[in-house]
Amino acid sequence: MDFELRGKHFLVTGATSGIGLEIARLLRECGADLVLFGRNQERLKALEHELGARTVALDITDEYAITAAFADLPALDGLVNCAGISILDPATRLHAADLDAMMATNLRAATIVAREAANNMLAAGRQGSIVNVSSQAAMVALENHLGYCASKAAMDAMTRVLCLELGPQGIRVNSVNPTVTLTPMAARAWSEPAKRDPMLAAIPLGRFAAPREVAQPVAFLLSSAASMISGTCLPIDGGYTAR
């Protein structure tokens, strides 16, 4: 499906693997020009050739690196904040360093990148769209996910505030909140029946998401087809959070 993205410029963070990579590939299929942020220089180099993308290797938690990268970027039409980490432990064994790491990537870095992307669009006089890749963990309690749930709930709060502040300038801001998404890493992590089957039983559609099923709503929210949608946190969860 073409979401009218031809000639548009989008930044995707966390673009070298998983959901971020699938989003980047779909946006390119829809005609968009891409800037990709990631850590892995080798993968970024490969994506330059595969997608014709401009790439920047950086530590997404380094505010100064982000600010420096934006100084050399073209005018953007949108941002996908997809970089994220998950460290799972029971609440009674949660380490402060792990909580700090999740907040630094899932909230702080996403906020700083959104700040810079918004300033980029405003300076160019462009209206645009920001999509934050959150999680169903922002909406429900999940065992062993205290830090992750908190960081993604904070991302959704950030989405709503940005919607309020940037809306008058024509910049829309939304989150998508996927369930377990079968990237290669997730497919391995959820391969054991004892872990997989209870989660599947709680999803009314009875299956996990494919990466493309997350990428397509992101492309929709970036496009003019979603021109009156802002401030929403969209579950992509097969009905899991409806219970």
64 assigned to active site: no
For helices 96-103 and 146-166, the axis angle rounded to 10 degrees is 30
Active site includes 148?
A: yes
- Residue 194 has phi, psi (to 5 degrees) of -65, -30
Q: How far is residue 240 CA from its own chain's centroid? A: 19
CA gap 47, 178 in Å, rounded: 24
Which of the residues 64, 152, 195, 240 is marked catalytic?
A: 152
Order of all β-strands in the sheet with 128-133: 54-57, 33-38, 9-13, 78-81, 128-133, 171-178, 233-236
- Within 10 A of 188 (CB to CB), how many other CB atoms are there? 10
What residues are labeled active site? Answer: 148, 152
